[in-house]
């Protein structure tokens, strides 16, 4: 039975890996913020599967809400595209 928990955990962690990779190579910073928000949602589910409900409550509000809003403010004040 524990295998099912572990498989769910594996899927969320893989989603986190793929979307953090996309967030880092993306040149449009607003899209990168969206990708990192998806990574944050995947990690929130991972925290729940790891039996940490306390962290889920703090992490959902911080990483999906406040952090994305902060970065959107910063991008709107600095510039949208990254020049490589």
Partner 1 sequence: MIAFIWSVIILTLIATIMISLYGISRRPNLVKKLIALTIFGDTANLLVVLLGYRLIYPVAPPILPSLSKEALQTFVKTAVDPLPQALVITAVVIGMAVNVLIAFAIVQIHRLYGTVDTRELSKKLIQVEGGEQ
Partner 2 sequence: MKKLIPITIIILIIFGLAYVMSGKIEPQENVRALGKFYLENSYFGDYSAKSPEVVTAILWDYRGVDTLFETSVFFLAIIGSLTLFRLNKKQEKEAKERIEKVEELTLVIKTVTKVIVAMILAVSASIALHGHLTPGGGFQGGSALAVAPLLIIAAYSKYALEKQGLDKTRALILRSIGLIGIALIALLPLTKGGFIMQNQPIFPWLGGSLIFYNFFEYLAVGAGFTAVFLLLAIPEKVFKKILGVGE
Among 5, 30, 50, 65, binds partner 2 (CB under 8 A): 65
d(CA 17, CA 81): 23
Cα-flanking dihedrals φ and ψ of residue 28, to 5°?
Answer: -80, 115
d(CA 83, CA 60): 31
Based on the shown chain and the rule CB under 8 A, indicate whether residue 24 belongs to the binding site for partner 2: no
Q: Which two tokens stand for residue 36?
A: 């990192």
* 3-state class (DSSP) for residue 18: helix
Out of partner 2, partner 1, none, what residue 22 binds, judged by CB under 5 to 8 A for its kind, is partner 2
> Interface residues with partner 1 (CB under 8 A)?
1-3, 5-7, 9-10, 13-14, 16-17, 20-21, 23-24, 29, 32-33, 36, 39-40, 43, 46-47, 50-55, 58-59, 62-63, 66-67, 70-71, 73-75, 77-79, 82-84
């Amino acid at each position: 039975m524990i295998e099912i928990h572990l498989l769910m955990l594996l899927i969320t962690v893989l989603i986190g890996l793929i979307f953090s990779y996309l967030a880092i190579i993306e040149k449009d910073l607003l899209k990168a913020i969206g990708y990192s928000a998806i990574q944050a949602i995947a990690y929130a589910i991972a925290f729940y599967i790891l039996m940490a409900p306390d962290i889920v409550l703090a992490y959902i509000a911080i990483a999906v809400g406040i952090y994305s809003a902060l970065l959107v403010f910063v991008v709107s004040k600095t510039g949208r595209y990254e020049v490589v």
